[in-house]
Amino acid sequence: MRRRGHERGATLIEASLVMPIMIMIMIGTMELGLAFKDYLTVSFAGREAARVGALAGNDSDADCHIITAAMDGLGGRTQNLVGIQIFQADPDTGARLIGKTNTWVLAGTDPYDCANDWTITEKWPATTRETAFGPTSELDIIGVRIGYTHNWITGFPPFNGSFMVDEQTITRMEPESFE
């Protein structure tokens, strides 16, 4: 009986040593899970926007359809949206072609109002996109790049500040044709 009395409180001490480590593991799992969710959301939105852009072809409202698809993919969450770029990509490397990028930055409150709530730098008009086999026998490659800032929630090291989720998707222009 005397031996058992010397071990009183040992469980409490062991728990107090292990509990901070367990809390840090739980916080880390939560923070990384939310960051991964934002990465997957931005990646999905970029793929959907590029798919819509490939189908919209050289329609004059193609960029607005792309922006709308990106906003649908983001679930309308715009508070951390940095911007959206719609660009022509090199068919061999997939790299953005210099001077062929439209940059869209949300300047208002309604992300679905392309005409009034976005600031646009247009260097690749939708009407100039090659959507049918012409003299070059090659369709344009369209790309969509979305920049989104992920803010860490807890602020515990190393989860303090924020980081940029920067995803891009490219696809070949394949507009629907009804002949």
pTM for this structure? 0.87
The residues, any chain, with a CB within 8 Å of residue 141's CB and separated by 6 or more, are: 88, 89, 90, 91, 94, 170, 171, 172, 173
How far apart are alpha carbons 68 and 62 in whole angstroms? 10
Q: Cβ atoms within 10 A of the Cβ of 141, count?
A: 23
Are 120 and 106 in contact, with CB atoms under 8 Å apart? no
Q: How large is the average pLDDT for residues 1-14?
A: 73
Q: Tell me what percent of the residues of the chain surpass a pLDDT of 90.
A: 75
* pLDDT value at 177 more than 80: no
* pLDDT value at 143 more than 90: yes
Q: Which one is predicted more confidently, 134 or 106?
A: 106
pLDDT tens by residue, 20-29: 999 999 999 9
